[in-house]
Amino acid sequence: MRKKIWGLGLVVSGLLLVVGLSGCAGKSEEPLKSVKVKLGSIKAEVPSTGVVEPRSRLEIKPPLSGRIDEVLVREGDSVKKGDILAWMSSSDRAAILDAARAKGADEVSKWEDVYKRTPVVAPLNGFIIQRAVEPGQSVTINDPILVMADYLIVKAQVDETDIGRISKGQVVNIELDAYQGESIDGRVEHIAFESKTINNVTIYQVDVLPGRVPGFFRAGMSATVNFILSEKNDIPVLPLNVVKKVGERSYVFVLKEGKAQPLQITTGLENTLNVQVTGGLGVGDEVVVPTIPMIEQLNKRFQRTRGPTNPLQRRQSD
């Protein structure tokens, strides 16, 4: 009787163990995810950062020391070469007029007519980016009273590893950090001939000329600059994370007889999100999102196929 009970207990325990292992195995196997080859667009870019700065920044200083009588412009005003930006009195004229005011309006009018005030003239076409003085303020010939710019551009910093892919006239996309979503097209105007070292990184300054300068552009604003290398539309694409490169070859995983098998394909243009499929698959074909075991198996398979490259290793294996 005891032997029967003992045998029955072993059978029940065995069944429970099998059921338990089956349950664990079922939980560990997650369903494979898949994606299809679709028609899409790819824009290959070289990303960089930059700062909005005037192409030509000019500080306007008074022609003589004295006192500012009137300022005719404000920040943001457009001016032309030869426009009068401000009126000022020399130190002598200011002193004479101050003394005349003690004698009455007629005396002031007399000296204002005899001793003319001095204009401050715009030296070029552009706009005012800084107004540094107000009427009544005393200035010297070394004090900037206004700052002008001819045009706002973006000065980008490009790593030396990418500078070879940048060329004059290349199309660029600009987006200000303060106005995300506002995309502005531009072109490369100039590439510096001399590098700079910033945080132990060698960079080259690239001047980017916007196709238009929106009203919200301000000198000193930070910008993201994307240099367009190539762009293709209506092409077969896959997400970059489903294509695995081993050496110079590209692989995806497809289901064959219920199992994920690697398939070599050819690829073209790519960016950080998608890759162009140029051969091995067509629009509508389905591929499996690779798991870590799949990738490890692919790497091992490639190593076996490649074999040893050292002649000594061949002799040892033989």
What are the residue ranges spanned by the domains of the chain? 34-42+233-307, 45-54+151-231, 60-148
* 159 token code pair: 């790593």
Of 127, 24, 146, 37, nearest in space to 87 by CA:
146
- Encode pLDDT of 153-208 as tens digits: 999 999 999 999 999 999 999 999 999 888 899 999 999 999 999 889 999 999 99
CATH number of this structure's domain 45-54+151-231, picked from the four choices 3.40.50.261, 3.40.190.10, 2.40.30.170, 3.40.640.10: 2.40.30.170
H-assigned helices in the chain = 2-28, 91-101, 105-114, 292-306, 311-317
- Encode pLDDT of 96-148 as tens digits: 999 999 998 999 999 999 999 999 999 999 999 999 999 999 999 999 999 99
Contact present, 39 and 283 (Cβ < 8 Å): yes
Contact present, 99 and 134 (Cβ < 8 Å): no
Instruction: Tell whether domain 60-148 is in CATH 2.40.50.100.
Output: yes
For the chain, give the percent of residues with pLDDT over 90. 61
pTM of the model: 0.62
CATH number of this structure's domain 34-42+233-307, picked from the four choices 3.40.50.920, 2.40.420.20, 1.10.3720.10, 3.90.25.10: 2.40.420.20
Give the pLDDT confidence score for residue 198 in this predicted structure.
Answer: 87
Instruction: Determine how β-strand 201-210 pairs with β-strand 183-191.
Output: antiparallel
